A = this chain, B = another copy of it.
Amino acid sequence: MLGGNGFIGSHLVDALASSGAWVRVFDRAGSQRHQVVRGVDYRYGEFSDHATLAESLADTDLVIHLISTTVPGTANLDPIADIEGNLIGTVRLLQQMRDVGVPKLLFLSSGGTVYGNTEMSPIPEAHSRNPLSSYGIVKSAIESYIAMYSTLFGLKSLVLRVSNPYGPRQSHLGVQGVIPTFFHRVKTGDQIKIWGDGTNLRDYLYISDLISFIVEAVRLDLNGVFNVGSGQGASVSDILQLVSEVTGVDPVVEYLPARRFDVKNVVLDVSKACAALQWQPKVALREGCELYWRWLNQRGV
């Protein structure tokens, strides 16, 4: 698992290891989010470090690729670094997997950015991809290269266009993840900053629902492209209201001008994912917020 010590990766390592799967993690460093998991084979290196990466691929049946060297809000600042780090890095990974003989790739794409602004809501997988941001352009190009490697060389692949996952261990530094950021700001008494008027709809998915989908998809060797989200839209103002209700605090908010590369609304049509695995998101948004707030208070700031 590439990026196995990140937010999503660490939860997935826990789940796969406890299901009895043999797991190797490749990440740039140990995790500050959770403990080392017993029985897991940890390897450390940069995504750009070909030799270490190639060694880590040996004797694996599946590569789960969760590495992103950028986040949606900052990738536009240096699109060339985004292309070099993520797109070229992943194409090199595809070549290495072919050389080493790894038959399958699971790639986490971005349901929130690959479609761009759409007239349709919720958005099905067959919708055209018109990304507005470097982050989305690179994710979309990676998806195309994976499809090309499938066609040319028979690579098996599962591409998950994940909406906005949230939950414990997620970064709350304000570059990604509205929910952790808002809760954290309330806890520290800082002001909350919102780009735009707060009406943009997003599709928030609690981390355990994402993990249950991935674990089941791995178990059943699912292939193809799937949206993975709650299928429900919530606005930033809705989140603010929930944060206020869950914490009992009325947060101080500063509204900043909307960012032009932010997609207006993204709610995913997840019927394909539900049908493929008899899967359903179980944790409602309020419950997920309560779980996150409880975790944040247990853990300290």
Residues of A with Cβ closer than 8 Å to B?
76, 79-80, 83-84, 87-88, 91-92, 126-134, 136-138, 140-141, 144-145, 147-148, 151-152, 260-261
Contacts and interface: CB of A to CB of B under 8 A. Distances in A.
A97 to B, nearest CB: 14
Say how many copies of this protein the assembly contains: 2
A80 B76 contact: no
Contacts of A147: 130, 132
A125 B101 CA distance: 38
A137 B145 contact: yes
A148 B91 contact: no
A51 to B, nearest CB: 17
Contacts of A140: 141, 144
A261 B148 CA distance: 8
Contacts of A79: 91, 145
B151 A132 contact: yes
A17 B188 CA distance: 65
A152 B80 contact: no
Contacts of A151: 132, 260-261
